Amino acid sequence: MAAQHDAQRGLRRRPPIAATLLAAVALLSTPSASRATDWHVAAAATGNGSVEAPFGRLQDALNAAQPGDTIHVGPGTYAEGLRSVRHGLPEAPVTIRARVAREAIVTTPGTVLRVDHAYHVFEGLVFDGQYGAADAVILRDGARGFVLRDVEVRRSGRDCIDIRAPQGGLIDGALVHHCLWWDGGRLDAHGIVAGAVRDLAIRNTEIHTFSGDGVQVDPGRSAPGWGGVVIESCRIWLAPLETMENGIPAGVVPGENAVDTKASAALPRSSLLVRDVVAHGFRGAISNQAAFNLKEHVEARVDRVTVSRSEIAFRLRGGGSSPGGALVTVTNAVVHDVAVGIRYEDNIQDLKVWNSTFGRNVGAPFYAASSGGSVLDVRNVLVVGRRLPAQASGASNLAVGEGTFAGAGAGDYRLAAGSPAIDAGVAIPGVTWDRDGRGRPCGPAYDVGAYEFASGSSCAAPAPPRNVRVVGW
């Protein structure tokens, strides 16, 4: 292919010698799409990686692949552990792609994939750790710019995906499940855990059946700190195990929280955005079990989230007598079938709860724990019940009956026609769309609760932003 391109260049006017040398240096230093190679892998093959004679092992293809190359993986089972070999480039990553999504299974007891190098893209593969005593997928500090797209990661005896401290990464369209660790009792095995990571996005992903947290950031509280983490359009859940799994008995709820944060007060404040996430099943494993356990030195924005069938929807924790507690804004949340909606602790400061709905079977919308000095800003909140809690006594908040909603019994908390919540709220500049992504206000004034009422009108507005680089608020 290179000779063909050289011949084509010879038909054109010859450039000056200096320009020719510069072009040659650029060609050698930066692989181009025209020089990229397609490698091929097929189960049980014994070839050299060509389409006619594929490799039989993925690692052989990784050993051969250069920046810009693509490895095409046929359906089947590959009993091996993989390890990256060399860096890709931002404009020329090393891509490993299943020909048929989730029909190429890479499996070994323990670590199935370890990435030490930058700019690798993995698409459509299944990584099965066979409940070995190691993290199934490890993305180390050097794995900046990694992409895991449409992958499945399962049956890890430790964390399913362990992200150390790379700068920049994307998990998109993944299924992460059965991350379970048992040693005479339940031990933490997280769906996704990260260290001092920056600019990490987890999108369109389902995470379930883990014995730690669905997503945990940074248990080591390590320097230089983490930030710019986005979790959006995800479903994170737990349920009692139907059968024994990796030693954990049937009937046990194995895990703790959907999202859990840790961050050192000695480092710059971390930043987290959770948006358009559904979480359920967080009860029965530990005391004060919460879907969202946001604590320590983090500033978190939680927007367009639904929590149900849990002990606590949001456990939000301040710094007590020391600095470094969480600063949290909750907007457009829908909470139902929980014992506690928002449990706030340790004199948390700057807790905002705006345009949210606390529906049926909420034992206490708010619960203060060691928080006599907390500062709460609660506006445009709807509560199903006869009276508002003291924390929501402001004039823009409403206590309503179930008939206010389109179908509260079925978990649908969109407003029904004639609801007293329509146009009854106050304008909040920080809330420009509702739980469905409809622009606010849809009418002369803000509606109260998580949804705007829009009978006969789409209230068209720009969709809520995506692919946001979150640095702070």
pLDDT tens-place values along the chain, 473 residues long:
333 333 333 333 333 333 333 333 343 444 444 589 999 999 999 999 999 999 999 999 999 999 999 999 999 999 999 999 999 999 999 999 999 999 999 999 999 999 999 999 999 999 999 999 999 999 999 999 999 999 999 999 999 999 999 999 999 999 999 999 999 999 999 999 999 999 999 999 999 999 999 999 999 999 999 999 999 999 999 999 999 999 999 999 999 999 999 999 999 999 999 999 999 999 999 999 999 999 999 999 999 999 999 999 999 999 865 666 999 999 999 999 999 999 999 999 899 999 999 999 999 999 999 898 889 999 999 999 999 999 999 999 999 999 999 999 999 999 999 999 999 999 999 999 999 999 999 999 999 999 999 876 667 655 555 544 433 32
CB 399, CB 387: distance < 8 Å:
yes
Q: DSSP states of 1-18 as a string?
A: -HHHHHHHHHTSPPPPHH
Backbone angles phi, psi at 416, to 5 degrees: -85, 160
Q: How far is CA 437 from CA 283, 407, 410, 461, in A?
A: 29, 19, 21, 8
* Cα–Cα distance, 332 to 274 (Å, whole number): 12
Compute the distance between CA of residue 76 and CA of residue 104 in angstroms, rounded to an integer.
5
C-alpha to C-alpha distance for 435 and 330, rounded to whole angstroms = 12
How far from the centroid of its chain's Cα atoms is residue 80's Cα? 27
The answer to whether residues 311 and 339 touch, using CB atoms and an 8 Å cutoff, is: yes
* Model pLDDT, residue 10: 34
**At the topology level of CATH, where does 91-415 sit?**
Pectate Lyase C-like (2.160.20)
Q: Could you give the 3-state DSSP secondary structure of residue 49?
A: coil
Pairing of strands 198-203, 167-172: parallel
The reported pTM is 0.91
Q: Which two tokens stand for residue 384?
A: 């199903």
What's the CA gap between 56 and 373, in Å, rounded?
64
CA torsion sign for 471, 298, 261, 341 is negative
What whole-number distance in Å separates Cα of residue 321 and Cα of residue 283?
29
Q: Are strands 206-210 and 186-187 parallel, antiparallel or unpaired?
A: unpaired
Please report the pLDDT score of residue 373 as a whole number: 84
Residues in contact with 220: Cβ distance below 8 Å, sequence separation at least 6, in sequence order: 195, 196
Domain ranges of the chain: 91-415
pLDDT at 445: 96
For residue 415, give the nearest of 402, 424, 404 by alpha carbon.
404
